[in-house]
A and B are shown apart, each in its own frame.
Chain A
């Protein structure tokens, strides 16, 4: 019996090992409980994260959340206080940056001002002692990939912001790194150029089938571009997942607020699928606790407004206090009878619905399946 158990344990262990190895084969980057402090400030509080091969992964968060530090630890510019960093299964925690097969696109591009565009792009290959002929063909190809070949002889100062961005990209991808790190590379560009480069980056990534790790504080950018993203806050990952998953089902109030805007509603559970709020009872499909206080959320665009009360279910009378017109979207601030403020928005598709005026009384309805449960406090927790 005892022998049996031991054998069982051994096979379990083997299975565990094998699975772990399999996972590592699919993952390009593994952070294992990475901690980092600057002085008294703990910037990373034990980050564990796996990034899969070939995915476009974003680290999203406000400034100071630790996303850039995490990226710099992966690049080798900072070293973790504890924990480990693996690149395709190889422990690189203590390796200097020049011995890691990753390349970075810097926020302000960091192009070498005293070198031509061509020399900038060739720098990494030269340092690796690649044969001159191969350098020529690879640099040319990289410059063509980012459509900047005509500027090869120019100095960085002669280029526009968008062009410098392309050069920075070429300088990194020419080395064919396992992972490309992008540190807010679009933040210095104007809105329109940024949108173009977003699309180009996504195309480039799928063409090269290279793992991209993209650091940004722009939630829209992260939602548009990523296969998966992690929302970070004060040195921890709040939630990790696919963009639509995170947007539709935020794990907590922080993520709900950070990814797009969101109305939060405090409520008390009164039945298996009913809650009581300050402005009336609502029915929901959320997995409610048996009793206690909960926080629900609903996206502004999920609430619909109308002049007539179409049904009694989840419909509340509201008064429009402000109207914010912003081209493609129309947003309203509304107030319920008890004074709760809500944000409601709708696409500008020329429907009658958009003709509401400030001061008008309307009916707002909350679709039962669009209410999100953010937090549930049991009674014990409250007292």
Chain B
């Protein structure tokens, strides 16, 4: 546990350091001076905007697709459905670098016919969706597995058509799982560096990419401040996701 959290603690402490360089430690004057400077840096604001755009759009799309995939795998048994369910775990366990390179290669190939696959926010969003879908589908499917199949049958028995049964019974009951999946997907997106780095264009850098390029020139307290904010946001999202899943079980 100490190994896990001491580095994070160090970053948080160093974000409140007064001097820009050196290892001496004096409390920043004013306390949030490096946090304030973040909001005056156009590069950071641009990267933050990109991060949010990619995060929100990719989460939105992957939540819909992932939920449909989770429901489909839960509800229907078709030839190869078990293989399909197993394949779902591949993007989860594949090293990011492998996924990143394969996406890069695919985009390079597609670029010959479709200029839209020039590295940009668009290619990044597609890349994020690719790895998010599996996570959403796994979370949604596990939520659905905890529900009694007879509920959907009961709705059909009570004169609901297939769509109404999903709309009034399955969807409300799956919502905690869907939201938890969405939060998880969003967290993954804003934290992702490797895949983003390989699929982003010159103008579409995200916060993790900006940190990486800046760190090459030395770690400054404003990076620590930024990292602290990202850690904080991630923690909130993960906690909310866990809370949703736990409440759903009662």
Q: Which residues of A contact B (CB under 8 A)?
A: 75-77, 96-98, 102-104, 106-108, 110-114, 123-124, 127-128, 171, 175
Contact = CB atoms under 8 A, between A and B. Distances in A.
B156 A110 contact: no
Given A77-B153, A112-B151, 19 more contacts: A75-B157, A76-B157, A98-B157, A98-B158, A98-B161, A104-B154, A106-B150, A108-B148, A112-B154, A112-B155, A113-B151, A123-B155, A123-B158, A123-B160, A124-B159, A127-B159, A127-B160, A171-B158, A175-B159
Contacts of B148: 108, 110
Given A113-B173, A114-B172, A114-B173, A98 B156 contact: yes
B164 interface: yes
A171 B160 CA distance: 14
A97 B156 contact: yes
Interface of B: 148, 150-151, 153-162, 164, 168-169, 172-173
A364 B51 CA distance: 91
Contact of A127 (B150, B162, B164, B173): B164
B151 A110 contact: yes
Nearest to B175: A114
Dominant SS at the A interface? Answer: loop
Contacts of A102: 157
Q: Return the 3 tightest CB-CB contacts between A and B, nearest first.
A: A124-B158, A110-B150, A127-B159
Most chain B beta carbons < 10 A, residue from A102, A108, A124: A124
Contacts of A110: 148, 150-151, 153-154
B173 A103 contact: no
A175 B169 CA distance: 19
Contacts, number: 59
A124 B161 CA distance: 11
Contacts of A175: 158-159
A129 B169 CA distance: 17
A13 to B, nearest CB: 39
B162 to A, nearest CB: 8
B164 A97 contact: no
A128 B220 CA distance: 66
Nearest to B165: A98
Most chain B beta carbons < 10 A, residue from A96, A97, A103, A114: A97
B149 to A, nearest CB: 9
Given A108-B148, A108-B150, A110-B148, A77 B169 contact: no
14 contacts: A75-B153, A76-B157, A96-B161, A97-B156, A97-B157, A104-B153, A107-B150, A108-B150, A110-B150, A113-B151, A114-B173, A124-B159, A175-B158, A175-B159
Contacts of A96: 156, 161-162
Given A77-B153, A106-B150, A123-B155, A112 B160 contact: no
Nearest to B172: A114
A111 B153 CA distance: 11
Contacts of B169: 112
A135 to B, nearest CB: 13
Contacts of A171: 158
A127 B168 CA distance: 10
Contacts of B173: 113-114
A76 B154 contact: no
Contacts of A97: 153, 156-157
A265 B155 CA distance: 51
A111 B150 CA distance: 9
A175 B154 CA distance: 13
Contacts of A98: 156-161
A76 B151 contact: no
A107 B153 CA distance: 12
A96 B157 CA distance: 9
Contacts of B159: 98, 124, 127-128, 175
Contacts of A76: 156-157
A106 B156 CA distance: 13
B235 to A, nearest CB: 29
Contacts of A112: 151, 154-155, 169
B165 to A, nearest CB: 8
Nearest to A104: B157
B166 to A, nearest CB: 13
A159 to B, nearest CB: 15
A110 B156 CA distance: 12
Contacts of A113: 151, 173
Most chain A beta carbons < 10 A, residue from B150, B161, B172: B150
Nearest to A157: B250
A178 B164 CA distance: 23
A77 to B, nearest CB: 5
